[in-house]
Amino acid sequence: DAIGIGPKTLSRIVRFNRALSLSKQQEDDWAGIAADCGYADQAHLVREFRQLAGETPTALFAPA
């Protein structure tokens, strides 16, 4: 709590950042990224993206 967030929130952010990094290497392999980052399944990863980024992974990385 010394940085203003709890340990669980920090853990979620770190895992989310790892998923973002892997998405640049493993394009469109969301199930693999979810497994590599410790998410229960791809749906769990998508929910986390929506909560932390405000969008799904597909929408976030869609060409403008």
pLDDT value of residue 47: 96
Number of domains the chain contains: 1
Tell me the per-residue pLDDT of 4-48, one tens digit each, with 9 for 90 and over: 899 999 999 999 999 999 988 887 789 999 999 999 999 999 999
Greater confidence (48 vs 63) lies with 48
Q: Return the number of other C-beta atoms located less than 10 Å from residue 36's C-beta.
A: 13
> CA-to-CA distance for 55 and 47, rounded, in angstroms?
9
Greater confidence (61 vs 7) lies with 7
Band of residue 61 on the pLDDT scale cut at 50, 70, 90: confident
Residue 25 inside a domain? The answer is yes
Residue 21 inside a domain? The answer is yes
54: containing domain = 7-60
Residue 2 inside a domain? The answer is no
CATH number, domain of 35, equals: 1.10.10.60
Answer yes or no: is pLDDT of 1 > 70.
Answer: no
